[in-house]
Amino acid sequence: MVGIFGRQLFFGIAGSGVSAGFLWGIFEEKQQANTLLKNNPDLFVKWDFNWDRRDPHSLVKPPKNGDPLEQNRYNDQLVKATPKASRHLILIRHGQYVMASEDYERKLTELGKEQADIVGKRIKNLGFPFTRIIQSSMLRALETSELIQKHVQGVRVETCDFIREGAPIPPEPPVGHWRPEAQQFYQDGARIEAAFRKYFHRASPDQEKDSYDVLVCHANVIRYFVCRALQLPPEAWLRFSLHNCSISWIVIQPSGRVVAYTVGDIGHMPTDKMSTS
């Protein structure tokens, strides 16, 4: 039942010319939503703060009951195990490339090179003290990374096979035009999940300042990472698209909270330079 204040607000707005039936429908829907939440708590999944197995409370042995010295020890160790900085992961999809059967033939097109140069300028303009650039070992990612590096010189560069393109997990709903063999999901999925665990975690307690890692990789990998980082169903990775040289910016806070600042940001790219394949 709508409270006295709510009923007054309802009639006040309705009297201003807004449809009373429309407003009553809103109140009814809110009531139904509250009832659904109350009767089906499993529909709403709580955030797992120990998703990276680095929550301080899971790393420090709890104190013995009633022992002040043990409690002091526990508190001291808890403080030492608590991160102080955030980790920024800036995920960049490679530029447009030549479609071919072998990786060594999949070079960037002229448009792809322009896209990589543009996103490199955007990365420079962010002005962050970048920690490192991690590049996929596939040719199109290496070429994209090389063009980005021209704008952010002096940053440590690492090459990683784990973030090569692949089929992370069977998507839901499935799509008819793309059906890899089950073995590919089995192999690629383990590799891409290993990459997620390697790069997505909160900062170590001895990290004093925020870190900024740039990962130059691939659409499937990035989409899977975004779903996993936000604790969304990983099977949802194929439900959104990413432009070439788009930026997805994920921040892992000391508490274990994860925030997506951007997903697939393409605002730096002129309209005539945009592409998805």
pLDDT in tens, 56-94: 999 988 887 778 888 888 888 989 999 999 999 999 999
Query: Quick one: CATH architecture of 87-273?
Result: 3-Layer(aba) Sandwich (3.40)
Q: Which class for 192: exposed (0-12), middle (13-18), buried (19 or more C-beta within 10 A)? A: buried
Name the residue with higher pLDDT: 103 or 14: 103
Q: Where are the domains of the chain?
A: 4-43, 47-82, 87-273
Does 160 score more than 70 pLDDT? yes
Q: What residues contact 190, with CB distance under 8 A and at least 6 apart? A: none
Instruction: Please say whether the beta carbons of 273 and 263 come within 8 A.
Output: no
pLDDT of residue 63: 84
Please report the pLDDT score of residue 40 as a whole number.
73
90 and 123 in contact (C-beta within 8 Å)?
yes
Q: How confident is the model at residue 27 (pLDDT cuts 50, 70, 90)?
A: low
Q: Which of 49, 65, 149, 143 is nearest to 104 (CA)?
A: 143
Provide the pLDDT for residue 66.
74
Tokens linked to 127? 């002005």
Q: Residue range 201-205: average pLDDT?
A: 97
CB 262 within 8 A of CB 247: yes
Asked if pLDDT for residue 7 goes beyond 50, the answer is: no
pLDDT mean over 135-161: 97
Q: What is the pTM of this model?
A: 0.83
Give residue 198's pLDDT.
98
Structure tokens at 202: 């909160």
